[in-house]
Amino acid sequence: MFHYVMRRLLFGALTVVGVSIVVFVLMRILPGDPLVAIFGPEGFTKLTEQERAHYMAELGLNDPLWYQYLAWLDDIAHGNLGRSFFRSESVAEMILRRGPLTAQIAFLSVVLSWLVGIPIAILSALRPNSLADHLARVMSILFLAVPGFWLGMLIVLTLLFAFGYRAPLTGASIFADPWTTLQMVIGPAIVLGLGQAAYIARMARSSLLEVVREDYVRTARAKGLNNRLVIAFHALPNALLPVITLSGVLLGFVLAGSIPVERAFGTPGLGYAMFTAVSERDVFVMQNLVFLYAVVFVLLNILVDIIIAWLDPRIRLR
Going 176 to 112 to 258 to 91, the CA torsion angle's sign is positive
The total number of residues written for the chain in this structure: 318
Going 140 to 307 to 235 to 211, the CA torsion angle's sign is positive
Rounded Cα gap, residues 85 and 99, in angstroms: 20
Of 256, 253, 279, the residue nearest 269 (C-alpha): 256
Going 25 to 28 to 29 to 30, the CA torsion angle's sign is positive
| pLDDT value of residue 168 | 67
| pLDDT value of residue 41 | 67
Whole-prediction pTM? 0.80
| pLDDT value of residue 177 | 67
Q: pLDDT tens track of the chain, all 318 residues?
A: 777 778 878 888 888 888 889 888 888 777 766 776 667 666 766 677 777 777 777 767 777 888 888 888 888 888 787 777 777 778 888 888 888 888 888 888 888 988 988 888 888 877 777 887 788 888 888 887 777 777 777 888 787 777 777 776 665 566 666 777 777 888 888 888 888 888 888 888 888 888 877 777 778 778 777 777 777 777 777 788 888 888 877 877 777 778 888 888 888 888 888 888 887 777 888 888 888 888 888 888 888 888 877 777 666 555
Encode burial over 172-205: b for 16+ CB neighbours within 10 A, e otherwise. eebeeeeeebebbbbbbbbbbbbbbbbbbbbbbb
| pLDDT value of residue 163 | 74
| pLDDT value of residue 188 | 87
pLDDT digits (tens, 9 = 90+) for 80-96: 877 777 777 788 888 88
Q: Which domains does the chain have, with CATH numbers?
A: 97-317 (1.10.3720.10)
Which residues, other chains included, contact 208 with Cβ-Cβ below 8 Å and sequence gap of 6+?
121, 122, 125, 231, 235, 236, 239
| pLDDT value of residue 57 | 75
| pLDDT value of residue 33 | 67
